[in-house]
Chains A and B, each alone.
Chain A
Amino acid sequence: MTTAISLSDVTVSFNGTTALDRFDLDVPSGALTAVVGPSGCGKTTALRAIAGFQTITTGTITLNGQLVATETTNTPPERRGVGMVFQEFALFPHISVAENVGYGVRGADRVDRVRRTLRLVGLEGYEDRFPHELSGGEQQRVALARALAPGPDVVLLDEPFSNLDAPQRERMRRELRRIIHSVGVTAVLVTHDQAEALAVGDRIAVMSEGRVVQSGTPVEVYARPVSPWVARFLGEAMILDGVAEGGAIDTGIGVVPTSLADGASAKVMVRPEWVRPTVVDHGVGKIVDREFYGHDQRVAIRLDDGTSIDALLPGSIDVALGERVDVEIDDAIVYFTNDTAGAR
């Protein structure tokens, strides 16, 4: 897998604040990479830096091996071959759908390309309409078609679904994956919604405070978050305190083996689906709440020592409030810091 976009040690600062702080990101070509982070983390700045709308203070940006931005140079956006889909779509209101889509296309096959691209996004016959005559989803498709029509190496999408209602959003996510993969273009999508990032991205990069804190496939990042913060940001996570003793940490809900030296304190992260309760007459805890979703269910358990934990179980298991349970954990991640693990 070759690298299509590479940001290396990129810093962007203005007015005394730093939007990107020694930011590193490699985007593999042909895949859809979702950049996710809380609002204000700098993800839109990163996207704008790739597109060329934002100059960078330090570092380098490379697009398909071409250096496009350094401390001192900045290839203007129009010469980067990057397509962009904007949050509010930014369709040109004064020209038709066909003219919007054909705006970036030059050459003899312009008309043909516009038609093919509109077919790709499912908007055949919309050529002569104007942006204000379209629904949100249709505008989104035009925006995507416009970005794809010139045949860019890279497409950037800035919160592309935030202006759509929930059902449209679900449908457009699937459509987007289909279109991106059928074209084979490298895509970077920015979102603040972790569920969206996990669902849509071939790879995801999690950002916090101007940096990429973790990147990888959705499965990797979800299952092996590099910090409690990432764990919490990407999904539900329980963080339990514990101290290593004799090669294990007793979390209260189970004992986790560890290589940490005795006396080292650590945080143990457990996702609810890793918790496996079994109904036992004299169990260590009691089921105090249950939300049934159909395909699965969340069960809240209060242990006798007062600890509350959640478990996510398949819908097929029948449990009842007040039943006593024993708890095991299938998986856990132990986080430690250098100073607390000093005894090791």
Chain B
Amino acid sequence: MGGFPILSVMLLVPLAAGLACLFMDAKSARMLALFATLVDLALGAVLWANFDIGGAQWQFTERAELFPGFSYALGIDGIALLLIMLSVFLMPICIGASWRSIDKRVGEYMGAFLLMETLMIGVFAAQDLFLFYIFFEAGLIPMYLIIGVWGGADRIYASYKFFLYTLLGSVLMLIAMLWMVNTAGTTDIPTLMAYDFDPQAQTWLWLAFFASFAVKMPMWPVHTWLPDAHVQAPTAGSVILAGVLLKMGGYGFIRFSLPMFPEASVQFGPLIWGLSMAAVVLTSLIALVQHDMKKLIAYSSVAHMAIVTIGLFAFNAQGLEGSMMVMLSHGLVSGALFLCVGIIYDRLHTREIDRYGGLSINMPRYALFFMLFTMASVGLPGTSGFVGEFLSLAGIYQVSTWTTLVCATGIILGAAYMLYLYRRVAFGDQKNADAAAMADLDARELLMVVPLGLAVLWMGVYPESFLAPMRADIAALEARLARAAPEGDSRLAMAKEKPAQEEHAAHEGAH
């Protein structure tokens, strides 16, 4: 790529387009937003194509000493690359989802979304601690506006809750960052990732970061902002919230908590396992009794994120890769599910599950895609959901068998609530005349769900494309954690080097 600052360009394109959208009428704002997000998607593709797998850990680095105390430093490794890809992939779909359903203040809406894209990419690309914090926190402003201005009936409460909850979570992280920088004498993230903080101090630092990431993730019991925010946000807002914003929590753990505070991470491992176990079981049960489709998917997100955290805190390559795969898969699948809800919401203006029924009769194409995403959410082999969940559970099995046992029930409960949802919406009698009269997917909606469906299948059938870029980074992280990693209780007889693929095949029948 030579000296072309591709990451800066990826940040600038949506920012410039977003500012321009503020001054445009509805039609041109939509076109410009779509164009800008597609340009960013193309740039993302270039980024992926030029990413040198097995090359330097940090690629496409840029650095400018613009500010006092911190610098404008960008750069990505395989983990960041994949999350950036997820963001730029979902953005055009979000714009498409808002094409018709948003008809008031379109320019401002598109502006907020494009600003959001800039900030998301910035979070994943930042290589400076404070630059990361600025991007991380700044995301609150556009999301607050998106929920508050274009949200549902109870949007004000939801937007306040979202804003204050996440703000309270992350301010303490800033103090921890200031302390780290003061101690280590640098704001450079790669340097800090190799810096050994005093284990005593790590405990406090870890807790401060945990407060932020646990809220963002969200982990039980600080997840309560999520169902409110999801339900009230417009469709595209939910897609981006579930698809990318939740991943910032996981990214935070994998980028900061684990490599910077390995001892503290291990020390708090049981806490995470406990919270994750509670989350998987409780939120799955809560999801089972929801009447609101978005709320159901929101609770399922919390359960899936718990699978991410147990994978991360398994401290081995399998678990870490698994959690990354769950994050990517969940980004696609929950985004797609919110989109599916949005599609029928646009027609009937209700998210009440009972108001639908028998949609497979009048909307066969819709039912097909909805089924695909439902299965992916359940974790059916062949879809993206399976790979990540399996790897995560296999990873945690090496460390804590009890956690595996409890968390694996999440798969069963997940199947229960998702299939129950699907049955009530797509099968059965067409009990409501208005729901029975809804038209099937049109071309615009197909253009949104088909790429998502293909990506879900691709990730399920050939996950190697996604595992390859991050393998070296995960291995480096595992090596970093090795000195503190706990002794497992599973007493594996087989060698740990045994390739995951074989185990994969052995368990497939049992699943």
Instruction: Tell whether A and B belong to one assembly.
Output: no
Q: B-side interface residues toward A, CB under 8 Å?
A: none
